[in-house]
Amino acid sequence: MSFIKRKSKSKKRAVLKYVLILLLLGVIILPFYWIFISSVKPTDELIRAIPTFVPEKWTVNHYSNLFAASDYGQYLWNSFYVAFWTMLITVILASLGGYSIYRCSYPGKNLISKLILVAYIFPQVLILIPLYKVMSSFSLINNLWSLIIINVTICAPFGVWLLKTFFGTIPMAIEEAAAIDGASQFKTLYKIFIPLAAPGMATVAIYAFLTSWTEFLFANTFILDEELKTLPVGLARFITQYNVDWGLLTAGAMVTAIPPLVFFAFVGKNFVKGLTTGAIK
């Protein structure tokens, strides 16, 4: 009797569990579903008083307008350019810095590691104004490299921290063994540590890409020309126009979301792992 009771109780719990999980997924995924179907509805259906939950008519007009009638293609290219160089430089700086901090010994290192810590919890708005002046003195206002430089500044300190678990947990005996075999420090770094830390470096690379892809504050301030704007700034201008074209805007949002999603689909598992092992040690 009590056995049956317990069984029905555990069944109830299992149902509750799946209900909660579905609810959770719904909260996360439904907004994306809504923006997707909105981007493929014709404009008259889009602004109908009674919305359709599955499009009656499908259209790619908003997507073709996006590339034909706006500077979206140019924004997309600019964003890719900035993200690519941000990724590359961040990975190099963070790997070298991480190796230095977790594997080498020299006076002043503790101070440097504290400085790096401060650098990634810093109010960005605090350095925005002086950086504007720094950038203009180097004639970098209205130049995509100003964004690459600032994105690396945002990403590299966090990258060093992410690499801690990868550099920090490799036994010191490896360097000693390599030194006995006559390998130089540089050779040890790139023959042994770079391959071992590769998953960590991939995490740093994705983090840098995501950060660069979304960065708005500096891109909105340092770039003045229309043809140099990145996606977030370009799209933000669409929002504030008097007559908002929601078809265009939702299509723009979809295309902007695709590169991070594709990236994540391939390496999401390692990214989450890298992120969480870094956070909990």
Partner 1 sequence: MQLKIKIKSGWNNTSLFGIVLIAPLLLWIVVMIVYPLISSIWMSLTDVDFLGINSNFVGISNYIELITDVEFWTAMGKSMIWTIGNALLQLILGFTTALIINQQFKGKSFVRIWIILSWIIPTIVLAIIWRWILNSSFGILNYILQLFNFVEQPIDFLGSFQLAMPTVIFINTWRWFPFLAIIILAALQTIPVEQYNAASIDGANSFQKFIYITFPMMRPTLSVLGLIGTLWSINIFDVIYMLTRGGPAGATETIPVFVYQKAFQEYAMNKASAAAVILFLFLSVFVVFYFKIEPTFREDNFLN
- CB 81 to partner 1: min, Å: 16
Q: Which DSSP string corresponds to 19-40?
A: HHHHHHHHHHHHHHHHHHHHHT
CA distance 144 to 167: 32
The residues near 230 (Cβ < 8 Å, ≥ 6 apart) are: 75, 78, 79, 82, 147, 215, 219, 223
Among 76, 82, 91, 116, binds partner 1 (CB under 8 A): 116
- CB 114 to partner 1: min, Å: 8
Q: Which is nearer to partner 1, 59 or 221 (CB)?
A: 221
Cβ atoms of 222 and 132 within 8 Å: the answer is yes
Q: How far is CA 83 from CA 26, 152, 230, in A?
A: 31, 10, 10
Tell whether residue 103 is a contact of partner 1 (CB under 8 A): yes
Give the range of 4-12, 26-34, 60-68, 196-204 binding partner 1 by CB under 8 A.
26-34
Among 15, 112, 177, 198, binds partner 1 (CB under 8 A): 112
Tell whether residue 171 is a contact of partner 1 (CB under 8 A): no
CA distance 112 to 164: 15
Cβ atoms of 120 and 157 within 8 Å: the answer is yes
- C-beta neighbour count of 20 within 10 angstroms: 10
- CB 1 to partner 1: min, Å: 22
- CB 2 to partner 1: min, Å: 18
CA distance 183 to 68: 57
Q: Which of residues 43-62 bind partner 1 (CB under 8 A)?
A: 46-47, 50-51
Tell whether residue 257 is a contact of partner 1 (CB under 8 A): yes
Q: Strand (E) positions, 110-231? A: none
Q: Which is nearer to partner 1, 63 or 99 (CB)?
A: 99
Tell whether residue 15 is a contact of partner 1 (CB under 8 A): no
Give the range of 4-12, 27-35, 62-70, 196-204 binding partner 1 by CB under 8 A.
27-35
Count the site residues for partner 1 by CB under 8 A.
100
Token pair of 72, please?
């979206």
- CB 201 to partner 1: min, Å: 15
Give the range of 1-9, 64-72, 100-108, 193-201 binding partner 1 by CB under 8 A.
100-108
Tell whether residue 130 is a contact of partner 1 (CB under 8 A): yes
Among 157, 162, 200, 222, binds partner 1 (CB under 8 A): 157
Which H/E stretch holds residue 155?
helix 144-168
